[in-house]
Chains A and B, each alone.
Chain A
Amino acid sequence: DVKVTQSSRYLVKRTGEKVFLECVQDMDHENMFWYRQDPGLGLRLIYFSYDVKMKEKGDIPEGYSVSREKKERFSLILESASTNQTSMYLCASSSRRTMSYEQYFGPGTRLTVT
């Protein structure tokens, strides 16, 4: 079974802090994604990566950056957390080998910025 893990289930940070969210997958997937999920807005793509050291902006990259130094790990960084970044953050991965690109999600990190 594919396993995608995220470093924290719940996180509380203060405005202006630098926040790191970590995601690790154990299935050797090439593609990794970061989404945020807010009520009524569905899943919005922040950043994604097709390969190590590669990153592409999604629909809402402002205020975020990412890092992918190893294939299995994809980190989301909030450079200076703000209250409007309070949300559920979901990491996902997919394989290019299947040609269908179904995504496997981690359990999510609920981030509160106060």
Chain B
Amino acid sequence: GQQVMQIPQYQHVQEGEDFTTYCNSSTTLSNIQWYKQRPGGHPVFLIQLVKSGEVKKQKRLTFQFGEAKKNSSLHITATQTTDVGTYFCAGYSGAGSYQLTFGKGTKLSVIP
């Protein structure tokens, strides 16, 4: 079945440093989504990428979808303590399935 690998599993950064998490799918995706889970909270939808090579920005967050629609990245510029949490990517393969395949997430810690 479809697999979505996400790296790194953990990342500790000093406040103000940049952070990137990467996501790779074993199959071509119709879209990829990103979620954030704050400590003690539940995953919250951040954004969806649909087109090959697409780049979207949300303030300090930049999301990219690879040309082959099999990989994606989330980059945070100048991290803040409010960025702490676990970031998940989730791939949607289409083909009549309504499921998402989640990566295992990257847990981000920001040292003030």
- A residues bordering B, Cβ < 8 Å? 30-31, 33, 40-43, 45, 48, 50, 58, 90, 92, 94, 96, 100-108
- B residues bordering A, Cβ < 8 Å? 9, 31, 33, 35, 41-45, 48, 50, 88, 90, 92, 98-100, 102-105
Q: Quick one: which of B50, B99, B103 has the most chain A CB within 10 A? A: B99
A94–B42 CB distance below 8 A: no
Q: How far, in whole Å, are A45 and B45 apart by their CA atoms in the complex?
A: 17
| Given A42-B88, A50-B98, A100-B31, 8 additional A-B pairs, CB 8 A | A41-B104, A48-B99, A58-B99, A92-B43, A100-B33, A102-B45, A103-B100, A106-B42
Across the interface, which residues of A come within 8 angstroms of B88, CB to CB? 42-43
Across the interface, which residues of B come within 8 angstroms of A104, CB to CB? 45
A90–B104 CB distance below 8 A: no
